[in-house]
Structures are given as structure tokens and as C-alpha cells.
Structure 1
């Protein structure tokens, strides 16, 4: 396998790898930014978190992702791209199911929420490994385009989760996935949320 040699470069395999890993990265960014999209709603459904606690909850996601990116940078030559993409995608189920649980249990202790936030950092940490693995599949003159597509489209996940979350948490059609939470708004009104939907919506795609 030598992408610089046209006779040895499998263009179809290379671009298939880009599209699959980009899909994985997009879902990773959705899992990564799930916490910032849920944090403003937590106190409304029964949590009693201070502004400082909410700040650190969101900050832990970024700290975790930044640290895990160091680890993931070294994984492509160790695991190979096929295993790396599979592992990186499968691990996203852990934080997603954690936040399904947290959304339905307002008595979840703060230390556990911090752990859930750290696990959400997996979604951002995989970025460095999956981007690095793309370098093995393309000749230098094609590498910039492939990395640009991969990096640009995967970043779409950060906006996607913040757009989708407000829509799905008010959707009760899948109430069999868990009861709704009565939210007490600052103006004294009450509304029912299904915060767990913000995680459930990504789980089938990740699977």
C-alpha cells in the first residue's frame, strides 16, 4: 500500500474510509457537545447545581477531549484504521447511555455527573486519531481535500446537536424510552421535557 504510487493506491477504499470516519466524527462531536446543550436545563428538572458547578461540568468535557486527543494521536499505527473507527464509534455509546440515565435521575450526585462529562470527551478526543489515519490513505496532492472534508463536515456535529436537542426534548412520541421530567421555568410556568431524547436520538446512528 503506497498512495504515492498510482498503481498501488485504491481511491475507492480511501474515500470510503473518509466518509465512514467523517460520519463517526460527526456523531462524536454530537456526543461531545451533548453536555453543553443539556446543562442549561438540568436545574429546571430538579437538579440543584450552582453556576460554578455547571461551569465545571461543561469545562470537564473540553478538558477530557483535549487530553484524549493526545492518546488518540498514537492509536492509528497501533490499531489500524478499521479497528480505530469501530472502537471510536462504539465508545460513544457509553456517554450517551450515561446521559440517558442522568436525565431521568435528578438525584444523580455531582461527582457522577462530572464522570459522565469526562466520558463525553471521548467524542472530541477521537478527532485526532481519525484525522491522522486519513494521511495513510491519500497521496500528498489529495490529502488536503480529504482532510478538509473530514474536518469540516465532522465539525457540523457541534451545531447539529445544539439544533436538534431543543426539538427532541419536547417530543413525547417515544415516551416508552423513559418518563418525561416536569421542568419549572424561571417565570413560574411548568413544562414537560424528555431530556433523555437528546441522547437517544444519536444511539441508533452510533450503533
Structure 2
């Protein structure tokens, strides 16, 4: 029940990743946006969705995940509702460059739902024992991650049938329904439930341990953030997640523009390839979690990052359509499996501050979804059309750095267990 509730909450909130990707061309045509402006537009939901993961992930360690996740979804409702209002009142005739800042503002609010990831990760981690963390988090992340892919398919269909305004109205309705479902199904771990019933923290933790809970939080949000920040492995995991999940967010938003502008693909071909990327990368995260349980997160991450590197190199160097499709799906596989491996390692390295570590890793790591699209747009303005391909060199560099860091983590894991969790920067 708890896993189901958390997954539904994340699934609903995470759809904001594709808030602008499938509709970017509509705004480009009406507002005459430059490639860099398009990059910022598709990335802006990821800014709030990334940064808010840090405090909200830590907040879980003090109250449980239900209240933080509900608040994030409500903020997302405000953002999507604002976009709907803009389309009703301004689109298309009055939606010019002057409306661009307002569009970014509501996009940023809509992106708050993306931050549900770190809340749900912590919520799920406290429910499940160490031996099944990889599986549980893989199911949560994998199924929840399918949302952008489905949105990328459904949103254009709605636009084609009823118009752009209807797409955002239906999105708003779905998020509201998701809030109701999460409110009913979302459950905090035993220790939080017992404390809410009036039991002292120590007594609640003892009773929760008897019921099977293995991970317990620190006493405050600040303490859990600082505790996680003092451990150098947290920052290595941040970089890995910046590459894999931040990269996933960036490409989910950028790929429709890439396929249409560089390969002259039809609108529906671009949408289909983007949805395929998002769904494949999300679903492969589920077995990726099980592989991480079986073989270890570091070993699985090394293999996955190598696949990502090969895919990124193909897309950087090739201008052919078929090669680009192959490269895209290699990147998708590498990112999806690496995502699962990273969060398999978080509760092992930072068991006393899972929420704080999830906040840092999920928040700063996901910031790649905001940082990378403007870089890709800038490459196009700098190099011309070929910049659409050469921009993937960013992912080549990120994969190389992440491979090196994973090797360091793997070597450090062979050290005595007393340093595995508690060694500081």
C-alpha cells in the first residue's frame, strides 16, 4: 500500500517533466523563441523540481513523506492552473515575448511536482528492509518515471483533438485526482505513524523496529542534511545522478526539438521517439534495481555508464537517423539502470540520513535537467544545425567523469565497514 501510494504521487507529479517538451513548438511559433530560450523553457520546471528536492527530502526525516508530497503536488496545481489561465486569456494573439517571464514562472511552479521524487524515495526507503531496497526503489522509480513518456504521447493527442488549452486543463484535472488518490493511499513508515499517535520518538522507533523497520531518521531536517553533506560519498552519488537522472530529464524535454529540427522528423515521429526514450529508460530501471541488489550498485553502474558513453558518442559523431535512434536507446538504457543503481547505494552509505542524502542526490543531481538543455541550445546557436549532434558531447564528458567516480566508490567499498558509512569529506 505504501509503495503504491508513493508511486502514484511521484507518477502524478513527475509528469511536469514533459510540461513543455511536446508543446514547445507551439510556443516557438507564436512567441518567436530562440533555441536558447526554448532550452530554458523546457528546462524551467526542472529548476524548482530539482532544488526543492533538497529541503523536502530532508523534511521527510522529521514528519514522514505524506505532508511534504501533498504540498508539492498542490504547488504543481497552481503552476499548471496558471498555464491554463494564460492559454485562455493570451494564446495565441497576445502571447508574445513579453509573456515569456510569466510562462517561465508558471512552468517553475508546475515543476514543483517533480520534487516528489526525493520525498517518495525516503518514504519507501523507511518502509523496506535493506535486502529489498533495490527492488522497491526500482519499482517506485521505474513506474513513476513512466509519466513523462506517457505525457509525451497523450498531450499531443489531446492538442490535436481539442487544442492546446484542453491539454493543460486535462493535465490539471489529472494532478488533482492524483492528490486525492495519494491522500488515501500514501502512508508514512511505522515510526512516523507511532509518533503521530503520541509515542515518544525512542519508544516509537523501538516499536517500529519490532514491526520490521530497519532505517530510522535523524532528529531534524538540518541534522539530516548536514549529516549527509559531511559524507563524501553523498557528493559522488550526486554527480552520478546528475549524469543519469539529470540527463534523463534534459533529454525528455529536448528530444522533440532535436528530432524535428536536426533530422526533419515529423511531429509524431519526434513525439514517438521521445516517448520511447522516456518509457524505456524508466521501465529498465525496475530490473536495474534487482540487478543492483544482486551484483552491487557500483558494478551495475559501471556497466550502465559504459553503455551510456557509447550511446552518447554515437549521437555526437553521427548525423544519420538510424544511428541516432540506436544511440538514443543506448543512452536510455544506461541512464535508467544507473538511476536504479545510485539509489540502491544511498541507504547503504547514508543509513542514518536517508532523507537528507536523497535530497542532495535527487535535488542537485536532477539539476542536470535544468542545466543541460540551455547548453544544448547554446551549441546550436554557436555551431549552427550540426550543434544538435555535437551537443551530445556534454553527455560523453559526464559519462567519463561518472565512470571515474564509480570506480572510486567501488574501491572505497572494499575498505573496512567502519568507514563505509561514516567517513567524511
TM-score clears 0.5:
yes
Aligned length: 170
Distance 2:173 2:66 in 1: 20
Pick the aligned partner of 1:43 from 14, 24, 28. 28
Q: Name segments (4+ residues, structure 1) moved above 6 Å.
A: none
What is the CA distance between 1:98 and its match in structure 2?
1.7
Question: Structure 2 length normalisation: TM-score?
Answer: 0.38
Q: Render the CA deviation track for 1:80-106: whole Å, top value 9, x for unaligned.
A: 222233223322211211221233323
What is the CA distance between 1:35 and its match in structure 2?
1.6
Distance 1:125 1:34 in 2: 14
User: Residues 98, 40 of structure 1: CA spacing in aligned structure 2 closer, same or farther, 3 A cutoff?
Assistant: same
Pick the aligned partner of 1:61 from 39, 45, 54. 45
What is the CA distance between 1:195 and its match in structure 2?
0.7
SS at match of 2:20: helix
User: Residues 85, 55 of structure 1: CA spacing in aligned structure 2 closer, same or farther, 3 A cutoff?
Assistant: closer
Q: Render the CA deviation track for 1:30-65: whole Å, top value 9, x for unaligned.
A: 123212222111134x33323332222122222332
Q: Which runs of 5+ in 2 are unaligned?
A: 177-425
Q: In the alignment, is the contact (CA less than 8 A) between 2:22 and 2:155 conserved in 1?
A: yes
SS at match of 2:12: helix
What is residue 416 of structure 2 aligned with on the other side? none
Q: Render the CA deviation track for 1:110-154: whole Å, top value 9, x for unaligned.
A: 111111222132122221111112111112123222111100001
Distance 1:116 1:133 in 2: 28
Greater percentage in helix: 2
What is residue 20 of structure 1 aligned with on the other side? 5
Pick the aligned partner of 1:78 from 62, 78, 82. 62
Question: Which one is further off, 35-44 or 142-151?
Answer: 35-44
Distance 2:69 2:37 in 1: 33
Distance 1:60 1:202 in 2: 18
Distance 2:169 2:6 in 1: 21
What is residue 166 of structure 2 aligned with on the other side? 197
Please give the root-mean-square deviation of Cα atoms over the aligned residues, in Å: 1.8
Rg larger for? 2
Distance 2:86 2:32 in 1: 13
Question: Structure 1 length normalisation: TM-score?
Answer: 0.74
Q: In the alignment, is the contact (CA less than 8 A) between 2:56 and 2:118 conserved in 1?
A: yes
Distance 2:152 2:33 in 1: 21
Distance 2:81 2:155 in 1: 16
Distance 2:63 2:72 in 1: 11
What is residue 244 of structure 2 aligned with on the other side? none
Q: In the alignment, is the contact (CA less than 8 A) between 1:31 and 1:95 conserved in 2?
A: no
What is residue 135 of structure 2 aligned with on the other side? 145
The reply on whether 1:160 has 2:150 as its aligned counterpart is yes
User: Residues 127, 81 of structure 1: CA spacing in aligned structure 2 closer, same or farther, 3 A cutoff?
Assistant: same
Q: In the alignment, is the contact (CA less than 8 A) between 1:69 and 1:127 conserved in 2?
A: yes
Distance 1:29 1:167 in 2: 19
Distance 2:36 2:135 in 1: 42
What is residue 15 of structure 2 aligned with on the other side? 30
